[in-house]
Amino acid sequence: MKVFLETQRLILRQFTEDDADHLFELDSDREVIRFTNIGLINGGDPIDTDYEAIKSKILPKFINYYENYEGYGFWAVIEKSSNEFIGWFHLRPALDNITVNVNNENEIELGYRLRKVAWGKGYATEGSRSLIVKGFCELDTQRIVSTALVANTASIRVMEKAGLKFEQTFIHQATNQEAVKYALNKDEFEPEKYIAIT
């Protein structure tokens, strides 16, 4: 298990081929995928969570990040107290998100997906803030962005708590719904505000 970073309550590690069951369980929950592309495009049906598709397409894509990018990619999240898989975070080149048409070449996109058992515990904020610190302080990231549908108020709150600032409203091209983009530039980053939680 190759650990990417640790927070007070979480371990973010590289994905392995053994994580197919974890991803299948995560993406099979209608509430978890409600605001994602697969949930909205398919009317809430997690049809893209076919186990074989996860094993042959999604998981290899996650794992390929570790070879193609230094310090960027998708990481499995382990809750320290239970040692259980609770979801993933990503910090990746924003242009890799082909469903969002407002991202630019110099931007790194922050995102996450967590199991319901992990909701309401502040894990999304904790992981996001830690990745922002990692990006700006260790990876020479210049700009971090994140997007969410306007209806996804919980994710918007996480972006705000993580220190990202509202930048624009746009129409999400994959779902044709109103969405927002938040961002933070390295020269706006104030590390002392992140020490308490990372």
Cα–Cα distance list, 28 to 20, 84, 100, 154 (Å): 12, 17, 23, 20
Inside any domain, residue 198: no
Q: Is residue 166 in some structural domain? A: yes
Nearest-10 crossing angle of helices 123-138, 153-161: 40
Q: Print the domain residue range for 105.
A: 3-193
pLDDT tens digits, 88-124: 999 999 999 988 889 999 999 999 999 999 999 999 9
The CATH number of the domain holding residue 164 is 3.40.630.30
- Mean pLDDT score of the chain: 90
In a domain, 167, yes or no: yes
Structural domain includes residue 151: yes
| pLDDT tens for each residue of 29-78 | 888 888 775 544 444 444 455 889 899 999 999 999 999 999 999 999 99
pTM > 0.85: yes or no: yes
169 domain residue, yes or no: yes
User: What's the total number of domains in the chain?
Assistant: 1
